[in-house]
Structure formats: C-alpha cells, structure tokens
Amino acid sequence: MTKDKKLKLATEIFEEYLENFTERSYCLNALYPVPDWIKEAGYHKAGHDWCVEHWGTKWDIHVQDSRILDGELYFAFDTPWGPPDDWLKKVGQDYPTLRFELKYYEPGLCFAGKIVMESGAVALEYEVTRKEPEYKDFLETELGIEIQDDDGYPVRPTDEKN
C-alpha cells in the first residue's frame, strides 16, 4: 500500500471519528473494546485487572488534543501511571497497514519511552528512567521537555511541535 493510500485510509478513519464525535469517541475502548462480560462484572471486580492486562493502563485515556499535521494524525492524551503500550501493540497488529508511534513520559515516576508499530509488529520499543544518562536527552529531543537538575524533573516544554 502506498503512503498516499495509507494516509487516505488513516484520514478516513479520523474523519469517521470526527463525524461520530462524542466525549468518549477518543478512547482505547474504541479500537480494543472491553468485553461485555467484564463490563457486566464491573470495574472494581474485573475491569481494573482487564484494563491493566490488555491496555497497559488502568483507565481509559483523557484526550488533550487531536489534529492532522503534515498528513499524519496526532493525539495528545493522558493516562494514569503509564503508557497504553499493550493496547498499542494489539491495535498495531489489528491495523498493519498503519504506522503507530507512541511517545510517553511519566513525571511522577520519572520514566519515558517510545514505541513504534509498523507492518503489524513492534519496530522500536525504548524506555529510559531518570537514573540513566540518556533520560535527559530523550526528554529534550523526543518530547521537548527541558530538565532543570539531576533529579529528572521538568522545567517546561521547550517547543510546541511535539
């Protein structure tokens, strides 16, 4: 599939979300749904464990921003305590003609990383903690976050492009 066809498919998917937009349209559940039997059992009895095991995070995302830039779809969102890495791997396998890239940063626990899914497989998976020398460089170059001191806590975003 050519890049133009991939972009057209991705754009059609994005536009379909926009047409059906509700507050919960942008959610992990949209592409990797919680099974009905889990919903029936309830979050506290079964949902929490299912979400952690299948999505990599205990709750769904809270979208901050979504847009198309330079022919690519971007979503900025928050998750609790970690990235939805298991979700990304499943969705990347389910949609092998699309490329997915997830960059993440957990400021409280001081870790960050990047996962890339291409052709239905993990093309890159990288995680770094504040105790590693690459941590500061990763935050600055990949996420535009400037680090103030050796503790690994951010000062402010350095630019708006990431």
Does the pLDDT value for residue 161 go beyond 70?
Answer: no
**Domains of the chain: which residue ranges?**
3-157
d(CA 15, CA 80): 27
Per DSSP, 28 falls in state H
pLDDT in tens, 85-135: 999 999 999 989 888 999 999 888 889 999 999 999 999 999 999 889 899
d(CA 88, CA 48): 18
CA nearest neighbour of 129 among 153, 112, 149, 154: 112
Report pLDDT for 151.
59
